[in-house]
Amino acid sequence: MKEFKDICRHHPDKLILCVIIAFSLLGDSMLYAVLPAKAGILGLSVGQVGILLSINRIIRFGSNFWAASIFRRFGTEIPFAAAVLAGTATTLLYGFHQGFLYLLVMRLIWGISYSLMRLKILVHIFSDDEYDSRASQEDSRPEENKNNEGRLSGLFQSVTRTGGLAGMILGGFLAGGFNFSLAAYLLGAISVGGSLLLLYFYFRFYGSKREDEKKGEVVVPEKSGLVSLFNLIRDPSFVALLAAGLAVHFTTRGVINSSYGFYLNQLYGEEIGIFVWSFSIAAVSGMVLSSRYLFDIVFSPFMGYISDILDSRVLLKAALIAQGFLLVIFALVDVPLVVLLLPGAIFMLTSLLVVLLYVNTAKFTGYNLRIRMAGMTTAGDVGAALGPLALNLVGLGLTVQRLYIICALFLLVSAALYHRDSRPDG
C-alpha cells in the first residue's frame, strides 16, 4: 500500500522503534506457543503455565502508570534503553533455568519492560510535537501529521506483530525439534542483537536532539502514577473509551484466544472433518489463533488509513456493534466452515478496533497524552488478563457459546456507553 510506504519513508524514527519492539516480542510469543505443549517436560503444572502466561499482563496494571512516572522524572531515553535491554535479555535468560519461580521473575521483568517500551512508542507516534522534522517540507507540517494518526497506529500494529508471529513459529519449531533452552538461546541472541543495533541507530540519528528540543513538554505530565488514573476515571467520557478497550481485549485476546480450542473440542471431539480431510483440533486451533498476527500485519496499515479518512468516533461505535454481532453468529452457528473462518473476520475487525482505540485516545483532550495512553493500555491488559479467567465459568457449567454471547453483550453495551458519554474531542 502506497500510504504505508509513505509513512515508513517519512517517519523512519517511528519505524525503527516498532522494529525494536518486534524483536523484543520474540521471547514472549515463543512462550505462548511452547509452554502449554512442553509443561510436563519442563516440570510445570498447567496452573503454573497459566500464571506465567498472565503475570506479565497483571503486573502491567500498575507498571503502565509507573512508566509514565519514570518518563516524567528521568526523560524517555535512558529508561527506554534499559527496558529494551532488560526485556530482550529475558528471552536469553529463559534458557538457563526453567523453574517456576525463576520464570515468574523473568515474566515480571518482561511485563514492566514492555510497559516502558510500548508507552514510549505510543506517545512518540501520537504526540504532535514529535513529528519527523527531517521529512520533506511539504510533509513536515504538524497539522498534516495529525491526519496520519491512524496510519501511524497501523504501522505500530503491523510491524510489532511480525515479532509475535516469528516468535511463535520459530520458537515452536526450535523447541519441538530440539529443546526449550536452545530455542531461548537462539531467539534471545536475535532479540538482543537486533534490538541493540537498532537502538544505537535510533539514538544516533533521532534520540538526543529530539529529547533536548522537547524536554519542556516531554518530561512534565500533569500528575504521576495511579493518582492520574483516579483523575481519568472521574471523567465519564474517558471511562466509556476505557470500557470499549477493555471489552475488545477481553473478548479477542482473552476469551477467544483461551477458549477456541475448548470450543472446537466441545463441538467436534478430537478431530474435525473438512470436505474429505480430517485435522486434529490442536492443529486447527493453533493455525486459526496464530492467524491473528497475520491479520494485524496485513490489515492494520489499511485499517489505519480508513480511520484517518473517516470519523474515528463513529467508526469505533460501528466496529464495536459489528464485532458484537459477529460474536453472536459465532456462538449460534456451528457449521464447520463458519467456526473455522469467522474468527478471521473477528481478528480483522479487532485490528481496526485496536487502531481506533489508540486514535481516539490520542484525540481525547484535557489530560496528558502519556497518562491517557497508560490508561488505555492498562484497560487492554486488564481485559486480556481477565479473559482466560472467564473459563472458570465454563468449568462451572456455562457453555462456551454462552460465554461468547456474554462477550457480545459486553461489546454492545460498551458501544452504547461510548455513544452516550463520548464527547466531540475524544
Q: What is the DSSP string of 247-272?
A: HHHIIIIIIIHHHHHHHHHHHHTTEE
Q: 413: which residues sit within 8 A by CB, 6+ positions away?
A: 247
Measure the CA angle with vertex 16, ends 12 and 19; round to 5°. Answer: 135
pLDDT tens for each residue of 282-319: 667 777 877 888 888 888 888 888 888 888 899 999 99
Paired sense of beta strands 271-274 and 277-280, if any: antiparallel
Comparing 64-73, 107-116, 323-332, the range with the smallest average pLDDT is: 64-73
The type of residue at 280 is S
pLDDT tens for each residue of 140-166: 334 444 567 788 888 888 899 899 888
**0.95 exceeded by pTM:** no
Same domain (yes/no): 171, 160: yes
- Which contiguous run of DSSP H or E holds residue 274? strand 271-274
Same domain (yes/no): 282, 245: yes
- Which contiguous run of DSSP H or E holds residue 382? helix 369-389
Same domain (yes/no): 274, 372: yes
Kindly indicate the confidence band of residue 278, based on its pLDDT and cuts at 50, 70 and 90.
confident
Answer whether residue 182 shows pLDDT above 80.
yes
Q: Please give the pLDDT value at position 141.
A: 34
Domain boundary among 204, 220, 236: 220
Same domain (yes/no): 196, 299: no
Domain boundary among 195, 220, 245: 220
Q: How many domains does the chain have?
A: 2
Q: Please give the pLDDT value at position 222.
A: 44
Kindly indicate the confidence band of residue 346, based on its pLDDT and cuts at 50, 70 and 90.
very high
Three-state SS at 214: coil
Q: How far, in Å, CA of 290 to CA of 293, rounded?
A: 6
Answer whether residue 103 shows pLDDT above 50.
yes
The type of residue at 239 is V
Same domain (yes/no): 206, 241: no
Look up cell 513538554; give the residue.
217
Same domain (yes/no): 304, 413: yes
Question: In which domain, by residue range, is 56 found?
Answer: 1-220
- The enclosing domain of 141 has a CATH number of 1.20.1250.20
Same domain (yes/no): 231, 179: no
Same domain (yes/no): 295, 173: no
Same domain (yes/no): 336, 193: no
Kindly indicate the confidence band of residue 130, based on its pLDDT and cuts at 50, 70 and 90.
very low
Mean pLDDT (whole number) for 342-356: 92
Same domain (yes/no): 158, 301: no
Higher pLDDT, 174 or 244: 244
Same domain (yes/no): 244, 193: no
Three-state SS at 135: coil
Same domain (yes/no): 95, 210: yes
Domain boundary among 220, 251, 277: 220
Backbone angles phi, psi at 235, to 5 degrees: -100, 110
Answer whether residue 139 shows pLDDT above 50.
no
Kindly indicate the confidence band of residue 3, based on its pLDDT and cuts at 50, 70 and 90.
low
